[in-house]
Amino acid sequence: MPENHEESKIVRVSNVTKNFHMGKMEVQVLKGINLDITAGRYISIMGPSGSGKSTLFNMIGGLDKPTSGQVFIDEVDIAQLDAYELAWLRCRKIGYIFQTFNLIPLMTALENVTLPMTFAGVNSDDANDRGMTLLKMVGLESRYNHKPSELSGGQQQRVAAARALANDPGIILADEPTGNLDLRTGEEIISLLQQLSQEKNITIISATHDFKMLNVSDQVVWIRDGQVDKIENRDELSISLGEISIGNRH
């Protein structure tokens, strides 16, 4: 991929390790990860459970601090950021989508989508307008006044996707976004994410073990035992996983 060297690296992970204390034992979950992610691509982080992919994902999102090493987002080391800057980063730069949706249970779909805009200082009228536009985009404009408990899993995840887009982030982090969804709704979410990466040039980083994700990924990072096992681009991928991905390539 020589032509990609000139493109900007939106995320750079450098020698990141992470230890967890399990009682008296100290377990090293990440053992020195190096990773460059180019802006505008769709990246899947794959690996068996326990491989450390969720931990890596949390490091990239600034949701947890590495034991050693650095994570750069737009060439800023996020360990150097204070609470205000970190909040700003989470609010403006990164949109999160979780396996468990994590909508605020008491708020309606529209309120969930507008909450990040409130934090960003957008006034309520503008936020509501934009919130409705985003809900329309995910096909839920008619259900704007429903609480999460009144929505199906797929609908909740689509609201979560709209919320992730609220402040026009450069990066969307999706942690097992299809993990709690059935096959069909999972595919809907995947194609929504793909559409976002293509139309809005948003970098999508998704931790997953859903093989359906591979078909739409520009790049797949395989994690094994806390280390990067291999990084494959889409064209290499179709060779190594031929039968699985051929049907859906376009």
Partner 1 sequence: MENNTSFLRQKKQLTRHHVVMPFTKSVGIAFRSIKARFLRSIITTISLVLAVSFLCFTQVTSDIANSLASLENADLQRKLTAAGYDPAPDTKEETTQTNKWAIKNSPKQKWIVSLSLLVCVVGIVNAQLMAVTERFREIGTMKCLGALNHFIVRLFMLEALMEGGAGASAGAVFGALFALLTSFFQYGSTVIYTLPLQDILLSMGKAFITGCILSLAGVIYPVIVAARMEPVEAMRMEN
Chain contacts with partner 1 (rule: CB under 8 A): 58, 61, 63-65, 80, 82-85, 87-88, 90-92, 96, 98, 100, 102-106, 115-116, 118-121, 163
Query: Which DSSP helix (H) or strand (E) runs through 88?
Result: helix 83-88
**Minimum CB distance to partner 1 smaller for 27 or for 104:** 104
Judged by beta carbon, residue 60 or residue 237, the one nearer partner 1 is 60
Q: How far is the CB of 148 from partner 1 (least distance, A)?
A: 11
Q: Which backbone phi and psi does 201 adopt, to 5 degrees?
A: 55, 35
State which residue, 72 or 238, has the beta carbon closest to partner 1: 72
In the bound state with partner 1, the residue whose beta carbon lies nearer, of 42 and 96, is 96
Q: Which residues pair with 220 in a beta bridge?
A: 44, 232
Cβ at position 20, least distance to partner 1 in Å: 11
Q: How far is the CB of 33 from partner 1 (least distance, A)?
A: 17
From CA 9, how far away is CA 104, in angstroms rounded? 33
Taking CA atoms, 85 is separated from 77, 118, 177, 223, in Å, by 11, 17, 26, 29
If you count DSSP H runs as helices and E runs as strands, how many of each does the chain have, helices first?
8, 10
**Minimum distance from residue 2 beta carbon to partner 1 (Å):** 30
